């Protein structure tokens, strides 16, 4: 495995980061078809988004410290495989409860890949260069919410809603291959940390009381809270009021 150039590293990590918004936005155009197939209401189907986001958020708190212990590459590859399996499960689900379970598993896997990828940037770059690298990642990441509904709509019209999740399987498989071939482990063994729950809780405790962290988290929470509020309400507005 050859070391990946800096630009290649940021592109692959950006592609991994795009899995999150792809998982959220590509299936929005298929809401009416999924509702009809499973015989459920719009509000009940919206729970699949809430389950995904909850699992995504919680998994980052666990898999981030796990990547500090096992290394970034192992966590990225494992969560990508897990995500591929969960996406396939969504595609072949025969009832809503199974679909909801696989959406939950999708969220858990997507969160782990995201946090490990961004930690990899911290490993490779100096603090100043890491900010520049993250800006490039976020620039590419920002494309995903814009193009995901378009891709999802095309796939749904051509092949049905199941194809949206098969697309996620293929996309995440491509990212898995790129990570496996091109991304080496970036966390040196001597820098790895304990995964003991007490140590992890202590680190989180120190972080939560840090004033600068609190202010930055508040700003990010307001931004993403507004964005996800829009995403949660978009299917109802589009299909019930704008059609």
Domains of the chain: 6-241 (1.20.1250.20)
Candidates 89, 83, 70, 160; CA nearest to 114 is 83
- pLDDT at 223 (0 to 100): 65
Q: How far is CA 98 from the centre of its chain?
A: 20
- pLDDT at 237 (0 to 100): 59
- pLDDT at 5 (0 to 100): 54
**Cα–Cα dist 89/84, whole Å:** 9
- pLDDT at 204 (0 to 100): 76
- pLDDT at 163 (0 to 100): 97
**Cα–Cα dist 165/92, whole Å:** 9
> What are the 10-residue block averages of pLDDT along the chain, 243 residues in total?
62 91 91 93 88 91 88 93 97 96 95 86 85 84 86 94 97 96 87 80 78 78 68 61 57
Q: What are phi and psi of 2, to 5 degrees?
A: -85, 145
- pLDDT at 2 (0 to 100): 46
- pLDDT at 26 (0 to 100): 93
Contacts of 97 (CB under 8 A, 6+ apart): none
Contacts of 204 (CB under 8 A, 6+ apart): 61
Question: Is residue 113 a contact partner of residue 80, using CB atoms and an 8 Å limit?
Answer: yes
Q: What are phi and psi of 27, to 5 degrees?
A: -90, 0
């Amino acid at each position: 495995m050859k070391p990946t150039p800096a630009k290649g590293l940021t592109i692959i990590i950006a592609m991994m980061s795009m899995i999150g918004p792809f998982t959220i936005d590509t299936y929005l155009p298929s809401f009416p078809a999924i509702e009809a197939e499973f015989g459920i209401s719009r509000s009940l189907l919206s729970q699949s988004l809430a389950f995904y986001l909850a699992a995504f958020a919680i998994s980052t708190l666990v898999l981030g410290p796990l990547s500090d212990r096992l290394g970034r590459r192992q966590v990225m590859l494992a969560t990508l495989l897990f995500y591929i399996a969960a996406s396939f499960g969504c595609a072949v689900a025969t009832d809503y409860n199974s679909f909801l379970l696989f959406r939950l598993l999708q969220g858990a896997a997507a969160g782990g890949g995201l946090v490990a990828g961004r930690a990899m940037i911290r490993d490779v770059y100096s603090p100043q260069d890491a900010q520049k690298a993250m800006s490039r990642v976020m620039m590419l990441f920002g494309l995903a919410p814009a193009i995901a509904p378009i891709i999802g709509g095309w796939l749904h019209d051509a092949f049905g809603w199941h194809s949206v999740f098969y697309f996620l399987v293929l996309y995440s498989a491509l990212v898995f291959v790129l990570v496996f071939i091109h991304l080496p482990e970036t966390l040196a063994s001597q820098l790895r940390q304990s995964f003991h729950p007490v140590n992890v809780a202590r680190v989180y405790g120190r972080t939560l009381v840090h004033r600068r962290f609190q202010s930055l988290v508040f700003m990010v929470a307001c931004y993403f809270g507004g964005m996800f509020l829009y995403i949660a309400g978009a299917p109802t507005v589009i299909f019930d009021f704008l059609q």
